[in-house]
Structure 1
Amino acid sequence: MLTKKRWLILAHGFNMDGRASSQTITDKMPYLLEAGIEPIVFSAITGIKDQRFPHRQFLAWGPAAFRFDFRHWIANQYGRGLFYKVSTGMVSLLLAPFIALEKFVLGYSSQWSWSIPAYLHGLSLIRAGKVDLIYSTGGAWSAHFAGLWLKKKTGAPWIAEIHDPLVIRKSPDDQGFETRSNRDARFRQYLEKQICKYADLASWFTEGAVHYAKVRNPNLNTPSNAHGFMVLPGAEPPGGLSHAKTHQYTEQLNLCHFGSLANDRSLSTILNALVPLFKKYPQARERVQVHAYGAPLDPLTVDAIKRLEFDDVLLAHGRLEKDPSTGKSGRERVVEKMQAADVLILLHGNDEWCAEYIPSKFYEYLWADRPIWGITHRNPQLDQMLVERGAYLSPQNDLETVEFALEKIWLDWENRQLVVPTGVPIDVKQATYRILAEMQDKIERSA
C-alpha cells in the first residue's frame, strides 16, 4: 500500500485539449485517484480548470510565457475569432520589448518563469504539511525546475517524468557531454544532471533516452541518487473511443498525418515518393490524397506542393479544436478523422534525437485500429513495436524503401487488402501503476 498519498503535481500544461504534454498527465488522473492518491495540481492558465481535485493555475512571471499563456487563455474563454486576434495582437505588441530583453539576458525557453510561482506556492503547501510527494511532468522543463527547487529546499520525495530528452544529441558519436552553445540547451544539460542527482525517481519514455541519460550520469540508479527507468506513456482512447469503427473503402486512398510538422519531420518525403508512383500508375494521380491535421505545413512541404503542383493532392486541415455547434472536443473530432483514414502516417523525423523519441501520436493511432505507415529513424524500439502490429515500415533516410512502401500501400488499397493491424493498444493505466510500483519500492528500500 502506497504510504505517500498527498501528491503535488507540477505540470505546466494540464487539461489542454489535444496537447500531448497535457494528455500524458491528465489521462493518468483517474488511475491515480483510483489508487488512493490525493492530488493537488499546479499548472499554467492554458488549460481548463479541473473540478475533481484542487487545481491551481498560475501565470508565469516572464513576458514570453505570459504572452503564450494569455493566448491560450483567451482562446479557451472566447475562441479564436476577432477578439482573440485583437487582444493577443495588442498584448504581443506591448510585451515585445520586454520579451526581447528577456531573451537577450537569459536566452531560456519561454515557459521557464512558471517555475517561480510553482515553487513559491509549492513551498507554502509543503511547509504546511499538506504534501507528501512532488511529481513534476513535462513537457516544459519549468515543472522539473520547480520540482528541483522544492526537493533541495524541503527534501520531500520527488518523481520527475521527462517527456522529451533534455539533452539533444547532434550525431551518433555525440553522447551529450559537449557544452552546448545555446544557453537554453546548456541549462537543460545542467537540469538533467540535477534531476539524476536529486530526484528519487526519474522516468523517460524510450529505452534510448534512458540509455543516454545513464551514459551522461553514471550515478543514476546508485542508492543515493535517482532511480531511472523507462515507462511507455501510452494513451487513453482518444475522445472516449471504446471501439474502432469498421473501415469503409471509398474512391480515394486517404493517407492521413496528425500532429506537428517541421523540416526534419516533413510530408515532403511522401510527396516526393508520389512522383514515381504516379508515373508508374497514372490512375493514382486522381485517387491518392494526403491529409494533414493538427499543425501548419512545414516549409519543405509547402515548397514540394508548389514544385510538384500537388495542391489537390495534399489537403491541410489545420488544428481541430472544440466544435461549438456539435460540442465535440478536439480529441473527439481527431479520432473521427483517424477512423476515416485508410492509412495513418507516422513521421518520426531525421534528427539524431529520434533515437530517444517516439511520437506521442503513435499511441493514439493504436486505438484507431487503422494501418500505420511508420517512416522512422534510428529507433529499434519503435520499429519493433510497429512490426509487431503489422505496420508498413520505411527508414526515413532510404527514399527507395519509402517509395516501395507507398507502392505496396497503393496496391493493397486497390485490391481492398490493406493490412489489418494486430496487437493491442498501450493504455495509460500500465504507465501509472508502473510509476506507483517503482515509488513504493523506492520507499520500502529507503525505510
Structure 2
Amino acid sequence: MKKKNWLILSHGFNMDGRASSLTITDKIPYLLEASIEPVVFSAITGIKDDRFSHKQFLAWGPAAFRFDFRHWIANQYGRGIFYKVSTGLVSILLTPFIALEKFFLGYSSQWSWAMPAYVHGLQLIRDGKVDVIYSTGGAWSAHLAGLWLKKKTGLPWIVEIHDPLVIRSGPSDPGFKKPKNRDAQFRQYLEKQICKYADLAWWFTDGALHYAKVRNPNLNTPNNAHGFMVLPGAEPPGGLSASKTHQYSECLNLCHFGSLANDRSLSTILKALVPLFKKFPEARRHIRVHAYGAPLDSLTTEVVKNLKFEDVLLAQGRLEKDAITGKSGRERVVEKMQSADVLILLHGNDEWCAEYIPSKFYDYLWTGRPIWGITHRNPQLDQMLLDRGAYLSLQLDTGAIELALERIWLDWKGKQLIQPTWKPIGVDQAVNTILTQVQSRAN
C-alpha cells in the first residue's frame, strides 16, 4: 500500500502530561499502522520525536517566543538557577514588545507560531511531500496555519478541535454575538473559516458539534466541511497494572488529578464534608482528599483555612519523572490513580461544560477504580459515567453532592465501593473513525 504523507500541525506535540499533546501523540502508532507517513510541525516546547520527521519551530511573536523559550530551557537544563536567570532576562528584554503585541492584536500568545508553520509547510507542499494537512489543537495557531495552507494550496485539510473555539455565556446563548475580547473574536472567525474551508472537522462532544452546527448551518453541506463527533479516548497509560487488586486502608482516599480553578474547585467536596462529619463524627479521622498535578485554586485554599481542613486536604503537587526509579510522571500518576479508593472527576460550573469532557476521564476508565463525577449540563458525559458504574452528582445540586459523599463513605465502611464496569475508551476507535471519514471524503 502506498504511504500517504500527512503534515500534522500540533503546537504542543510531545509535551509530557499535556492533554493537547496526548490527544495527538497517542494516535501516531495507529496512523503509522495505517500506512500514513507523518511529518509533524510543533513548537520547541516538547521532546523531539525520532520515529518520523518532526520539525520544531520557534514562534515569531514575542509573547509566544517567551513561552516557548521557558519550556525549552526547562526541558534542556531543568528549572534551577540557570532557568531563573535566563528566562528572567528574556522576559525583561521582551516585555515592551509583548505589550505592543497585546495592544495592537490582543490575541493569545501562541498565535504567531502559525507563521513559521505556514512558511515551512508551504515549502514542503511545493516539494510534493504532503497529501493531507491535519491541524490539531490545543493552541488555535495550528488551525490558522492549516487554514492559510488550505487557501494557498487547495490540499485536503482535516481539523481536530479539542475545546470549543466559541465560548457561550449561557444555555440561551448559541454564540452568535460578537465577543468583546479580541482573541475570542478571532476564534469565532476561525470557526467559521474551518466550517467553510476544511474538508473534515471533528469535535470531542455531542454538545460542541451541536452548537458549531447552530452557528454554522453550512457545515455538512456540499462544498463545505463535513463535521462529526469523535471521542478522543486514551491509550492504556504506562504504569498500569492489570493484576493490581484494591486494598482498603485506614483512610478513604478521594483523589483528584489535573488542573483546578475556581469554577472547577475541590471546595465543592470540602464543603460537603461538613454535614457528613456532623452526622458521622468518626469520618473526620478517616477521609482524605488528595490533589495531584496542579496548585490548589483560591476557593479550595480559603475553605481549607476556614474549616481547618489542613489534615483533610493533601496537596500532592505535580508528579514528575523519578530519577531513582526511572518512572515517568505519567507512570507515577497512574500508580496513584490505581491506589485511590475513589477518583474525583470535577467538570466545572461554566456553560462550556455542555461542550466539554475532561480528558482525565479517559485515563480514569483504564484504572478500574470507581469514579465520582460531579458534572454540569452534559448528558453525554453523565450517560458514559452511568454506563460504566459511577457515583454521579450535578454540580449545582448541593444536596445531591452531600448524598453521594455519604453513600461513598458508607460503601467504603462496608468495603463495598462500586465496582465499575470495564469499558475503557481507547484511541484506536478514534483513529478508525477519522480514517473512515477521510476515505469516504476521498471517494
Shorter-chain TM-score bucket reads over 0.9
* Counterpart residue type for residue 41 of structure 1: V
1:238 counterpart SS class: coil
Are the equivalent residues in 2 in contact too, given 1:4–1:133 (CA < 8 A)? no
Give the TM-score taking structure 1 as reference length.
0.97
Matched, 1:247 2:243: no
Residue 127 of structure 2 is matched in structure 1 by 128
2:86 counterpart SS class: helix
Residue 286 of structure 1 is matched in structure 2 by 285
Find the aligned partners of 1:105 and 1:321 in 2 and give their Cα distance: 38
Matched, 1:111 2:116: no
1:239 counterpart SS class: coil
Q: Mark the CA change 1:230 to 1:242 in structure 2 (over 3 Å): closer, same or farther.
A: farther
* Counterpart residue type for residue 404 of structure 1: L
* Counterpart residue type for residue 181 of structure 1: K
Residue 36 of structure 1 is matched in structure 2 by 35
Q: Deviations over 1:379-423 (max 9, x none)?
A: 000000000011000000001100000010011011110000103
How far 1:240 moved relative to its partner?
5.2
Are the equivalent residues in 1 in contact too, given 2:357–2:381 (CA < 8 A)? yes
* Counterpart residue type for residue 274 of structure 1: L
How far 1:74 moved relative to its partner?
1.4
Find the aligned partners of 1:318 and 1:72 in 2 and give their Cα distance: 19
Give the TM-score taking structure 2 as reference length.
0.98
How far 1:177 moved relative to its partner?
0.2
Q: RMSD of the TM alignment (CA)? A: 1.1
Residue 96 of structure 1 is matched in structure 2 by 95
Are the equivalent residues in 2 in contact too, given 1:16–1:48 (CA < 8 A)? yes
Residue 311 of structure 2 is matched in structure 1 by 312
How far 1:179 moved relative to its partner?
0.4
20-29 vs 285-294, which deviates more? 285-294
Residue 378 of structure 2 is matched in structure 1 by 379
1:222 counterpart SS class: coil
Are the equivalent residues in 2 in contact too, given 1:388–1:423 (CA < 8 A)? no
Q: Deviations over 1:97-151 (max 9, x none)?
A: 2222211111101100000000000000001100000000000000000000000
How far 1:85 moved relative to its partner?
2.3
Find the aligned partners of 1:434 and 1:35 in 2 and give their Cα distance: 13
Q: Deviations over 1:5-45 (max 9, x none)?
A: 10000000111110000000000000000000000000001
Pairing of 1:167-178 with structure 2 (within 5 A): 167-178=166-177
Matched positions, count: 443
Are the equivalent residues in 1 in contact too, given 2:239–2:334 (CA < 8 A)? no
| Segments of 4+ moved more than 6 angstroms | none
Pairing of 1:264-279 with structure 2 (within 5 A): 264-279=263-278
Matched, 1:203 2:202: yes
Residue 70 of structure 1 is matched in structure 2 by 69
Find the aligned partners of 1:89 and 1:414 in 2 and give their Cα distance: 52
Find the aligned partners of 2:239 and 2:290 in 1 and give their Cα distance: 23
* Counterpart residue type for residue 26 of structure 1: T
Pairing of 1:41-440 with structure 2 (within 5 A): 41-239=40-238, 241=240, 243=242, 245-440=244-439
Are the equivalent residues in 2 in contact too, given 1:244–1:369 (CA < 8 A)? no
Are the equivalent residues in 2 in contact too, given 1:232–1:431 (CA < 8 A)? yes
Q: Mark the CA change 1:198 to 1:240 in structure 2 (over 3 Å): closer, same or farther.
A: farther
1:257 counterpart SS class: strand
Are the equivalent residues in 2 in contact too, given 1:4–1:132 (CA < 8 A)? no
1:136 counterpart SS class: strand
Q: Deviations over 1:306-341 (max 9, x none)?
A: 111111111111111212222111111110110111
How far 1:92 moved relative to its partner?
2.0
Find the aligned partners of 2:78 and 2:289 in 1 and give their Cα distance: 28
Find the aligned partners of 2:219 and 2:240 in 1 and give their Cα distance: 39
How far 1:93 moved relative to its partner?
2.3
Q: Mark the CA change 1:141 to 1:60 in structure 2 (over 3 Å): closer, same or farther.
A: same
How far 1:89 moved relative to its partner?
2.3
How far 1:244 moved relative to its partner?
5.7
Q: Deviations over 1:205-247 (max 9, x none)?
A: 0000000000000000012000000000000011253626211
Q: Mark the CA change 1:240 to 1:26 in structure 2 (over 3 Å): closer, same or farther.
A: farther
How far 1:274 moved relative to its partner?
0.6
Find the aligned partners of 1:254 and 1:92 in 2 and give their Cα distance: 41
Find the aligned partners of 1:240 and 1:286 in 2 and give their Cα distance: 31
327-336 vs 140-149, which deviates more? 327-336
2:227 counterpart SS class: strand
Residue 13 of structure 1 is matched in structure 2 by 12
Find the aligned partners of 1:403 and 1:322 in 2 and give their Cα distance: 36
Find the aligned partners of 1:275 and 1:78 in 2 and give their Cα distance: 45
Are the equivalent residues in 1 in contact too, given 2:239–2:335 (CA < 8 A)? no
Find the aligned partners of 2:314 and 2:96 in 1 and give their Cα distance: 38
1:359 counterpart SS class: coil
Are the equivalent residues in 2 in contact too, given 1:45–1:57 (CA < 8 A)? yes
Q: Mark the CA change 1:244 to 1:25 in structure 2 (over 3 Å): closer, same or farther.
A: farther
Find the aligned partners of 2:291 and 2:263 in 1 and give their Cα distance: 16
Percentage of pairs with the same residue: 79
Find the aligned partners of 1:93 and 1:322 in 2 and give their Cα distance: 31
Find the aligned partners of 1:250 and 1:83 in 2 and give their Cα distance: 43
How far 1:279 moved relative to its partner?
0.9
Are the equivalent residues in 2 in contact too, given 1:294–1:320 (CA < 8 A)? yes
Find the aligned partners of 2:359 and 2:149 in 1 and give their Cα distance: 29
Q: Mark the CA change 1:75 to 1:62 in structure 2 (over 3 Å): closer, same or farther.
A: same
1:324 counterpart SS class: coil
1:134 counterpart SS class: strand
Are the equivalent residues in 2 in contact too, given 1:17–1:321 (CA < 8 A)? no
2:202 counterpart SS class: strand
Q: Deviations over 1:47-100 (max 9, x none)?
A: 110000000000111111111111111121122223222222222222222222
* Counterpart residue type for residue 19 of structure 1: R
* Counterpart residue type for residue 435 of structure 1: I
Are the equivalent residues in 1 in contact too, given 2:166–2:175 (CA < 8 A)? yes
1:424 counterpart SS class: coil
